[in-house]
Structure 1
Amino acid sequence: MKRVTTALLLGTAAVALAQGNTFLTIGSGATTGVYFPVATGMAKLINDAGAGVRANARSTGGSVFNVNALATGELDAAVAQNDIVYYAYKGTGIQAFQGKANTKLRTMAVLYPEVLHVIARRDSGINSIADLRGKRVVIGDLGSGTEQTARQVLETYNLGFDDLGQALRVSPAQGVSLMQDKRADALFYTVGVGASAISQIAQTVDVRVVPVGGNQAASLLKKYPFYVRFNIPARSYKGVGATVPSVAVQATLVTTTALSEDTVYRAMKASMGNQAALEALHPSLGAFTYEKAVKGLPAPLHPGAVKFFREKGVNVR
């Protein structure tokens, strides 16, 4: 595959090569999100299977970074929002991909819904997205899918980043600290329900989950068909006593045509062949099914994924 620069990865890669294995680096996201434990868990399943593929999960800045790193060969596979993957595949949507279509992107599987969480301190006076005007708001790390989601949601309320008091582009971990220290009033985070970063804020700060619903949600879904309505269940986090309407995209495992059909097939069989083991990696995967895994694809299925899903009885091309 490629030369890996860190000592840890060099050691792992050396073992893999010595055993005749293919070595994969899987891009995830912040360690406080859901991408990281999911990717780490999948890498462990691959390694434990002894199927001729060795894998390592790497913490990254998120979806946009991951897709760009797939294009350069820095990553072999990655978890990313389906809308971001689509924009990259088509070379449209956001400036980072404009006119740079990466037609070599391929989908391995749709994994789980990624829900927009808008978390506000109760003492901030924020009850709706419109109330974010003039406030200090964490909009996600630079190059993350959350940043793009925040921009699109604010747009439906006739707001932009310039309308905020401060648009704070920081990692989820830094966002948690800013919320705890009263240096941020609210935080956007597109992540699976139950993410540790959101739980940490709710455990240490009196917060509310700001709804995204009504006409604004309808407008968002009409303009950006990747979104679906999603209700954050009551008691998902401390202090959240009622269901909160929001929207979601989909976390998707993607790769490129650089990986062979056999490598992708063996990696998927090892990490997804046992559905119960996959679901046990994180609560967000609790509703995973092989049928759902091929719905809402942002790029064509990789031939190795086609082979895997056909073996599972799913009708794919």
Structure 2
Amino acid sequence: MYGRLKLAIVFCLLLMFGVPAAAQSPGAPTVITIGAGGKTGVYYAVSSAICRLVNRARKSKNVICRYKTGGSVANIKALRKKQIDVALAQADWQYHAYNGTDPKTFPNGPFKKMRALFSAHPEPYTVLIHPDGGIDNFTGLKGKRIDIGPIGSGQRGTSENLFKVFGWKPNDFKSIGGTPPGAQARQLCGKEIDAMIITLGHPAAAVMEAISSCNAQILSVSGSEVDKFIASSPFYSLAQIRQKIYRGSDDVVQSFGVRATVVTSTDISDEIAYHVVKSVFEGFERFRRLHPALNYLEPKSMLKDGLTAPLHNGALRYYKEKGWK
């Protein structure tokens, strides 16, 4: 009786907190932990969508999928420390982590054990301004109260790198906040900040909240400095925020962006990587319906767009079976 109770307690703890798949004992349920993003962002929805599909075979595969909040940079660091098994990350931070090209952010050198599973939705760099903030264009952000997202998020790192191209330093702004997207929207509409910056797929709950609550406006991000920024990297490209997806958004908004990517490491077995990838693509129509940002995905482009790290052997096995590789 005591033994059964003890086993039940251990199983419940696995469900609640998860143990990375690479660290689990034989015979125990394999808990796959995915590093996502803020609860109002698309990363959170994508992680949820992946887990829903993986968990459809939880009994036959003895696999349980869970997800936790994080952000691109934080997720990659957690993946490297084996605290999670799969990470969502912007393509630019995947590139820097794998190649070791941003030692300030990733001081432990190139993460050569990183492996790609697939890429997901495009993520335009998105600037929302309060209509009373006195900002007419992107350069008008200088001297204002802005929020660029939490420390460890890809969006914050992208903003910091873009600001350098404009020659801006932190003290060129009245304040620079670091809160999640949902809190950003509330601060913007409460006039605590003049602008919020996020990098995410659209439509997004945080953007909807800001527009519906205080008629926030999406600012175009373009010009010679932005062109220079795009040209300096292999992972940025011109992007657009489509018209009609938000109330009052009658025109296309020009910006730039990256791809969201789904990565893991060689610490994860080929079988687990294969199961995750197969679960997503065998249930692809269901996957695309789980969030509007996923509606326009095409399977074959997800094998290459935004990916720097090599494909995991388990993922590659599935793609070869489908004739995609």
Q: TM-score, normalised by structure 1?
A: 0.91
Alignment partner, residue 26 of structure 1: 34
Question: Could you report, residue by residue, the CA deviation over 1:119-158 in whole angstroms, capped at 9, with x for unpaired residues?
Answer: 0011111121110111000011011001011112223333
Alignment partner, residue 84 of structure 1: 93
Shift of 1:243: 0.8
Shift of 1:73: 0.9
**Correspondence 1:188 to 2:197:** yes
Matches within 5 A, 1:1-317: 7=13, 9-10=15-16, 21-50=29-58, 51-52=60-61, 53-60=63-70, 62-93=71-102, 95-295=104-304, 296-315=306-325
Question: Could you report, residue by residue, the CA deviation over 1:274-303 in whole angstroms, capped at 9, with x for unpaired residues?
Answer: 221111121111122221112231211100
- Aligned-residue CA RMSD in angstroms? 2.2
Question: Equivalents in 1 of 2:15, 2:127: separation in Å?
Answer: 36
Shift of 1:235: 2.1
**Quick one: which amino acid aligns to residue 257 of structure 1?**
T
**Quick one: which amino acid aligns to residue 170 of structure 1?**
T
Question: Equivalents in 2 of 1:86, 1:18: separation in Å?
Answer: 34
The runs of 5 or more residues in structure 1 that have no matched partner are: none
Question: Equivalents in 2 of 1:197, 1:8: separation in Å?
Answer: 31
Kept in 2, the 8 Å contact 1:17–1:23? The answer is no
Question: Equivalents in 2 of 1:232, 1:277: separation in Å?
Answer: 24
Question: Equivalents in 2 of 1:11, 1:167: separation in Å?
Answer: 33
Kept in 2, the 8 Å contact 1:235–1:242? The answer is yes
Question: Could you report, residue by residue, the CA deviation over 1:153-207 in whole angstroms, capped at 9, with x for unpaired residues?
Answer: 2233332332111011112222122112100000110000111011111110122
Q: Which secondary structure does the structure 2 equivalent of 1:291 belong to?
A: helix
Aligned residues with identical type, % of pairs: 31
Q: Which secondary structure does the structure 2 equivalent of 1:97 belong to?
A: coil
**Quick one: which amino acid aligns to residue 32 of structure 2?**
L
**Quick one: which amino acid aligns to residue 68 of structure 2?**
R
Shift of 1:239: 2.8
Kept in 2, the 8 Å contact 1:82–1:251? The answer is yes
Question: Equivalents in 1 of 2:251, 2:288: separation in Å?
Answer: 26
Kept in 2, the 8 Å contact 1:37–1:282? The answer is yes
Question: Equivalents in 2 of 1:98, 1:186: separation in Å?
Answer: 31
**Quick one: which amino acid aligns to residue 217 of structure 2?**
R
**Quick one: which amino acid aligns to residue 45 of structure 1?**
L
Q: Which secondary structure does the structure 2 equivalent of 1:124 belong to?
A: coil
Question: Equivalents in 2 of 1:190, 1:6: separation in Å?
Answer: 35
Quick one: structure 1 residues 304 and 278, their matched pair in 2 at CA, closer, same or farther if it must change by over 3 Å? Answer: same
Corresponding pairs, count: 309
The runs of 5 or more residues in structure 2 that have no matched partner are: 1-9
Larger radius of gyration: 2
**Quick one: which amino acid aligns to residue 195 of structure 1?**
A
Kept in 1, the 8 Å contact 2:90–2:259? The answer is yes
Question: Could you report, residue by residue, the CA deviation over 1:198-252 in whole angstroms, capped at 9, with x for unpaired residues?
Answer: 1111110122111112322321111122111111111222232211101110100
Deviates more, 1:159-168 or 1:118-127: 159-168
**Quick one: which amino acid aligns to residue 58 of structure 1?**
K
Kept in 2, the 8 Å contact 1:129–1:154? The answer is no
Kept in 1, the 8 Å contact 2:18–2:32? The answer is no
Deviates more, 1:149-158 or 1:165-174: 149-158
Q: Which secondary structure does the structure 1 equivalent of 2:96 belong to?
A: helix
Question: Equivalents in 1 of 2:128, 2:11: separation in Å?
Answer: 38
Which 4+ runs in 1 deviate beyond 6 A?
A: 16-19
